[in-house]
Amino acid sequence: MVMQHIPAKAGKVLDMMGSLHESLTPSARRISDFVLANPAEVTKLSIAELSHTANVGEATIIRFCRTLGFKGFQDFKMELAIELSSHSKNEKSILDTDVTPEDDAELIGQKLQTTINSVLAETLNLLDFTTLEKVAEQIRTSRAVYFFGVGSSGITAEDAKNKFMRIGYNVDALTNNHFMYMKAALLQPDDLAIGVSHSGSSAETAKALKLAKETGAKTVAITHNPRSTITEHADWVLVNGNRQGKLQGDSIGTKISQLFVLDLVYTLLVRDDVSGAQVKKLKTTKALES
């Protein structure tokens, strides 16, 4: 896959590294791990000092910075310092949400709330809102929209089907790989396929998007990793967050961030046709009444 540089902006450096972590080379991953664990310290190091501490070459550090969209190490350090200066003093607690045997139900609830707040903030940091608007417009103008996903992401696909159908869109969700492949192979150029895979490495969802793209249909990937396999077959990529610590059942953050992205798209569609969406939702609600 061709690695594209992602434009950097203050306030998203750490989130960007987290989303790209699995697609980095082993040496770049060592740099990323060190920066994520010691961000404040890194802003005070020279490139030679970081090279020694992280046990990587200076050239590797420069390539790492350019991979993230920076010109070099100094630009990277400057943006990182800006990001850290904007954080509240207690924000580090976001990463300290592991459940311990001593935690009571109320404290666990507070930790889950912190996890959810964190992952939503990260999602807003990582999303490209111009792309979000384009995806909403593509849904609006497509003949039909198909959501593909397996496992937990399949549940997200089903939820999206329910949400978009309620306001009148011709949508379906497929979560069985055989059905996904058959449907994808039969799409038309004015259809839209949306693949959901948090890791971006779901072989089934990636194959479905590939088949869809071969028919001429437009494709969207919703994933945490903007350089994962699924994105190779996507016209547009929407990135969801995942900064969750090691909480038991940490898929709650993944699930909520995926639903949040889709809810943003849904809200854009409603925004541009409030009266029409209201009429259709009333009709579908009435149809479900006993």
Domains and CATH numbers, the chain: 13-86 (1.10.10.10), 129-287 (3.40.50.10490)
Highest mean pLDDT among 116-130, 192-206, 241-255: 192-206
Lowest mean pLDDT among 123-127, 140-144, 181-185, 244-248: 244-248
Residue 89 reports pLDDT greater than 60: no
At residue 11, the pLDDT reads 59
2 pLDDT tier (thresholds 50, 70, 90): very low
At residue 4, the pLDDT reads 43
At residue 251, the pLDDT reads 63
Using the 8-state DSSP alphabet, how is residue 3 labeled?
Answer: P
Q: What is the pTM of this model?
A: 0.80
Lowest mean pLDDT among 75-79, 113-117, 227-231, 250-254: 250-254
At residue 246, the pLDDT reads 43
At residue 247, the pLDDT reads 42
Highest mean pLDDT among 51-55, 100-104, 107-111: 51-55
- List the one residue out of 241, 229, 185 whose CA is nearest residue 205: 229
Please state the rounded mean pLDDT for residues 208-237. Answer: 96
At residue 103, the pLDDT reads 85
Residue 94 reports pLDDT greater than 50: no
User: Is there a contact between 240 and 222 (Cβ–Cβ < 8 Å)?
Assistant: yes
130-163 b/e (C-beta count within 10 Å ≥ 16 → b): eebeebbebbeebebbbbbbbeebbbbbbbbbeb
pLDDT tens track for 61-83: 999 998 888 889 998 998 888 88
Lowest mean pLDDT among 161-170, 201-210, 246-255: 246-255
Question: Encoding tokens for residue 42?
Answer: 């890194």
* Residue 79 vs residue 249, higher pLDDT: 79
* Residue 16 vs residue 93, higher pLDDT: 16
* Residue 94 vs residue 206, higher pLDDT: 206
Cβ neighbors of 240 (< 8 A, separation 6 or more) are: 123, 126, 127, 198, 222, 223, 224, 254, 257, 258, 260, 261
* Residue 219 vs residue 199, higher pLDDT: 219
pLDDT tens track for 149-186: 999 999 999 999 999 999 999 999 999 999 999 999 99
32-67 b/e (C-beta count within 10 Å ≥ 16 → b): bebbbeebeebbebebeebbeebebeeebbbebbeb
Please state the rounded mean pLDDT for residues 46-57. Answer: 91
Residue 84 reports pLDDT greater than 50: yes
pLDDT tens track for 17-42: 888 888 889 999 899 999 988 999 99
For 237, the 3-state DSSP assignment is strand
Residue 93 reports pLDDT greater than 70: no
- List the one residue out of 244, 186, 276 whose CA is nearest residue 18: 244
Quote the mean pLDDT of the chain: 87
- List the one residue out of 100, 119, 92 whose CA is nearest residue 38: 92
Question: Encoding tokens for residue 32?
Answer: 């990323």
**189 exposure class (CB count in 10 Å sphere: 0-12, 13-18, 19+):** exposed
